[in-house]
């Protein structure tokens, strides 16, 4: 049986490009729909590419008409916690209003299967850790609130219109394609692991550690890192779960292990052989002290387990990518 044709909204971005590559590897036809505001054209090297924005309803309709889309993976969103605190309007329009546009056109063309890129930021400050899918959702920043709004919208569309969706709440995406074809390359860069790689390669100033007075063992934030290729695998498993009759649902995607900023820096130094220069800075607005995934729901329902279960294996792929990308030496 022929595989579905999947619209990958935001498929030129970090996570979307890895998912697009994996879809292609598994025999799916894909159409990458991206405005390249944060994505890279060279990352959308599999399937068809359409340069456009989800705000453009007419272009979106033309794509659904031309390519006969069967399912959608939705990665197209702004995703910086700090920026969302300073520019919430951009986040509500791009992450919520544009998702409504996508859902509108999906309904018009009777496309009912949607895999949504959500986030652990919907949980806010944890009442307990590890965090399971049943944990209350009380986001503390506009980014998390936009993602929670979309989750609620999808639930309403499921009840009213028959939308079938899976919402995947990522913890911290990290790493790069082991084959070196795509990786993490934001401008400006705000994520810890690429910033550590940049510092190790001497590409900028010392690494800023935002907050050293959190209620954690070493005073720095603790995060659960999950390899981007494992995220791509989970998206395809979620799509196949829906297509085989699974009910709309939400799943955490994490390793279940937490690492502090200082532990990430130490692991990076050990792997790179470079003493990472750091400076202490004040806390960033909107950051939670600890975010660690809990539960085995994705494993039990989707058959998903991380192939890169520890920080060292994740960082090794990121380090290889950044050395290749930025001309570092072996």
Catalytic residues: 143
Distance CA 62, CA 68 (A): 10
Instruction: Tell me which H or E stretch contains 170.
Output: strand 164-170
Distance CA 311, CA 222 (A): 12
CA distances from 206 to 21, 123, 194, 196, 239 (A): 33, 31, 13, 9, 41
Mark out the alpha helices in 51-191 (DSSP H runs): 57-67, 81-86, 88-91, 98-108, 142-161
Dihedral sign for Cα 220, 228, 52, 73, please. negative
CA distances from 300 to 43, 172, 202, 294 (A): 32, 21, 43, 13
Map tokens 């639930």 to a residue: 155
Map tokens 């579905």 to a residue: 4
HSE-CB for 21 with a 13 A CA cutoff: 24
């Amino acid at each position: 049986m022929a595989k579905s044709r999947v619209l990958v909204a935001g498929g030129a971005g970090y996570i979307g490009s890895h998912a697009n590559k994996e879809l292609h590897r598994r025999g799916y036809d894909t159409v990458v729909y991206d405005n390249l505001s944060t994505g890279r054209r060279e990352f959308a090297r599999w399937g068809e590419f359409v340069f456009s924005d989800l705000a453009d309803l007419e272009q979106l309709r033309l794509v659904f008409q031309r390519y006969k889309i069967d399912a959608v993976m939705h990665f197209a969103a702004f995703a910086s916690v700090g920026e969302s605190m300073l520019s919430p309007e951009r986040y509500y329009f791009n992450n919520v209003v544009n998702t409504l546009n996508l859902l509108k056109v999906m309904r018009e063309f009777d496309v009912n299967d949607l895999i949504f890129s959500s986030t652990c930021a919907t949980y806010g400050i944890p009442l307990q850790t590890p965090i399971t899918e049943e944990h209350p959702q009380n986001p503390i920043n506009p980014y998390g609130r936009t993602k929670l709004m979309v989750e609620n919208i999808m639930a309403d569309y499921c009840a009213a219109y028959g939308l079938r969706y899976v919402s995947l709440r990522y913890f911290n995406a990290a790493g790069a394609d082991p084959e070196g074809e795509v990786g993490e390359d934001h401008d400006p860069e705000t994520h810890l692991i690429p910033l550590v790689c940049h510092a190790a390669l001497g590409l900028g100033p010392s690494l800023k550690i935002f907050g050293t007075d959190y209620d954690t063992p070493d005073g720095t934030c603790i995060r659960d890192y999950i390899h981007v290729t494992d995220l791509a695998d989970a998206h395809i498993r979620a799509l196949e779960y829906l297509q085989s009759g699974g009910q709309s649902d939400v799943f955490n995607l994490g390793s279940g292990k937490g690492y502090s900023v200082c532990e990430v820096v130490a692991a990076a130094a050990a792997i790179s052989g470079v003493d990472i220069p750091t400076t202490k800075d004040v806390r960033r607005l909107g950051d939670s002290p600890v975010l660690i995934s809990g539960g085995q729901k994705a494993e039990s329902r989707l058959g998903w387990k991380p192939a890169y279960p520890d920080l060292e294996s994740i960082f090794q792929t990121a380090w290889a990518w950044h050395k290749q990308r930025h001309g570092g030496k072996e």
